[in-house]
Amino acid sequence: KQEVTQIPAALSVPEGENLVLNCSFTDSAIYNLQWFRQDPGKGLTSLLLIQSSQREQTSGRLNASLDKSSGRSTLYIAASQPGDSATYLCAVRPTYGNNRLAFGKGNQVVVIP
Amino acid sequence: DTAVSQTPKYLVTQMGNDKSIKCEQNLGHDTMYWYKQDSKKFLKIMFSYNNKELIINETVPNRFSPKSPDKAHLNLHINSLELGDSAVYFCASSRGGRTEAFFGQGTRLTVV
C-alpha cells in the first residue's frame, strides 16, 4: 500500500525566503506525481505534474523535483510571498492497478509579511 | 469558466436524512472521481468512473451511491446520513486515469 508523507507538516517563513517542501512515498512504482495547493475552505489547485520519467518541472517561481528511486519529491517556491500561504499537497499515482491518487497530509505554509 | 463545479458548497443536515451532491466538469474529461477529506485533512478516494463506468469503489458504506448520467457528470447520493459522514467531499476529473487531475471547490457536509 502506497504511503505518502509530507514534512514539515507546518512551517512559517518571512516574505522573500525560499520555501522547500518535502514529499516522500513508500512505493517507487509510480506513474506520475502531482503537487496541489489548497487554500482554507477552497478546493485543490493543480500546480505541477511530474511524469515518472522526468526529474523536474518548473512553472514560474515553482520548481518540483522527483527522485523516483528514492521515493522523494521536493517543491521549491522561490522568493515567497504572503499570497503563497496555503496548504501544499503531494499526490502520487501508481503504475499498476487503478487510477487512484494517494495523497499526503500536506505542508501548511504561512508566509509572514 | 469553472472547470469542475460542485453543488452545493455547504450542506448542513440532520442524521438519517438523504442528500445528494452534484458535480459537473466542462473539460471534456472521461474520468471523474469522488474524494473525501476528513477532519484531519487527509484526502482519500471513494469512487472513480471512466466513461460512465465504475472503475474504483473503495471500501465505503453502501449508503454512498455514485451516479454518472454522462461523462461530464458524477453525482454522489448519500442515504441515512450519520455524524461520521461529516467531511469535505471533492469531485475531480482527468483525461484518462493517468493525466493531471483537476478538482472542484469541495462540498462541506455537516451532519447534526
> Tens digit of pLDDT for each residue in B77-110?
999 999 999 999 999 999 987 789 999 999 999 9
Query: pLDDT at position B75, please?
Result: 96
Dist. CA B102–CA A32, nearest whole Å: 15
b/e A66-93 (16+ beta carbons within 10 angstroms → b): bebeebebbbebeebeeebbbbbbbbbb
The distance of A16 to chain B (nearest Cα, Å) reads 28
* Over residues B64-88, mean pLDDT: 95
Would you say residue A105 has pLDDT above 90?
Answer: yes
User: Which residues of chain B lie closer than 8 angstroms to A43, CB-CB?
Assistant: 4, 90, 103-106
Residue of A nearest to B56 (CA): A98
Longest dimension (CA), chain A: 45
- The answer to whether B77 and B17 have CB atoms below 8 angstroms apart is no
Would you say residue B15 has pLDDT above 80?
Answer: yes
Sorted by sequence, the CB contacts under 8 Å of residue B39 that are 6+ apart come out as B86, B87
Query: pLDDT at position B1, please?
Result: 64
Amino acid at B20: S
Min mean pLDDT across A10-14, A96-100, B47-51 is at A96-100
* Over residues B44-55, mean pLDDT: 87
- The answer to whether A49 and A32 have CB atoms below 8 angstroms apart is yes
Strands B10-13 and B107-111, bridge-based pairing: parallel
**Among residues A24, A21, A23, A26, which one has the least CA distance to residue A84?**
A21
- Mean pLDDT of chain B, nearest integer: 92
Cis amide leading into B8 (omega within 30): yes
Query: pLDDT at position A77, please?
Result: 97
- The answer to whether B3 and B94 have CB atoms below 8 angstroms apart is no
User: Which residues of chain B lie closer than 8 angstroms to A106, CB-CB?
Assistant: 41
* Over residues B36-46, mean pLDDT: 89
**Using one digit for the tens of pLDDT, what is the confidence trace for A23-46?**
999 999 999 999 999 998 888 999
Sorted by sequence, the CB contacts under 8 Å of residue B54 that are 6+ apart come out as B47, B48, B66, B68
Determine the 3-state secondary structure of B30 from DSSP.
coil
Residue of A nearest to B6 (CA): A43
Amino acid at B81: L
Query: pLDDT at position B73, please?
Result: 95
Other C-beta atoms closer than 10 Å to the C-beta of A26 total 12
Dist. CA B18–CA A76, nearest whole Å: 44
Compare CB distances from B97 to A49, A98, A103 and report the shortest one's residue.
A98
Determine the 3-state secondary structure of A11 from DSSP.
strand
Contact residues of A toward B, CB < 8 A? 31-32, 34, 36, 41-46, 49, 87, 89, 91, 93, 98-101, 103, 105-106
Mutate to test the interface with A, among B53, B99, B108, B110 (most CBs of A within 10 A): B99
**Residue carrying the nine cell digits 450542506:** B11
Mutate to test the interface with A, among B34, B103, B105, B107 (most CBs of A within 10 A): B103
Residue A10: band (very low, low, confident or very high) from pLDDT cuts 50, 70, 90 = very high
